[in-house]
Amino acid sequence: MSLFGIFSQAYAQVPLAFHDVMLQGFMWNSHTTTKWSVLKPQASEIAESFTLVWLPPSAAAEGGGTSNVGYHPYQWSNQNSSWGTRTQLEALITDLKAGGVKVLADIVVNHRAGNGWCDGFPTDNFGEYGVFTLKASHITKDDEASGQSACSGKLSDQNDWNFDKPIEYGGGYKAARDLAHSLTEVRDAVKAYLIWMKNEIGYDGFRWDVVKGFNPAYIR
């Protein structure tokens, strides 16, 4: 489940009238065929038929970000991924926008790959927007890490959103650590990440991954 949003000032909102024609700029394992450096020469051709491009998650991901799609982000502020470098990404976005094409970032903030089960996450440095280091205490208490003896007493006291609902409605995600969005520190880090992605990387809007995993009140 996901949600698309185009920027209105600092926050992403779903527009009442949406007239763009969107291209999904990747496939599940298209690391070679849709790298940033491969898409860049096609920017003008894309602009002939599309007004919006949805790019895959661009943050460094689990395993160093060199052989995965990116849906297990490891460090949000590191934009060197299996799709290419930050420099290549910014060059692609610049060329697309020069042709009148808006660019959507695939935002994965429901869950995150960390340093082991409960040893926290790497520091995110968003420059003027802040520096954040999320820890085990920012992981939901019903995460799979709770079953690890080494994590006893380290996790937050917050459950996942809809934790008591069937899996199709709940927020739990077994493959990575679930973040407790009810905590101010998590929300502040996410907000800084989004603003940084807009102002520094150049994205125009967001596609939210696993939007069922956290309270919709946090998306505005």
Q: Write down the pLDDT at residue 12.
A: 46
- The ranges of the chain with pLDDT < 50 are 1-4, 7-12
Q: Write down the pLDDT at residue 212.
A: 83
φ and ψ at residue 42, rounded to 5 degrees: -95, 5
* CATH number, residue 91: 3.20.20.80
Number of domains in the chain: 1
How far apart (Å, rounded) are the C-alpha atoms in residues 218 and 220?
A: 6
Q: Write down the pLDDT at residue 9.
A: 39
Instruction: Give the model confidence (pLDDT) of 55-105 as tens digits.
Output: 999 999 987 655 678 999 999 999 999 999 999 999 999 999 999 999 999
Could you say which DSSP state residue 166 is in? Answer: -
Distances (CA, A) of 46 to 95, 182, 214: 10, 40, 34
- The whole domain housing 99 covers 2-218
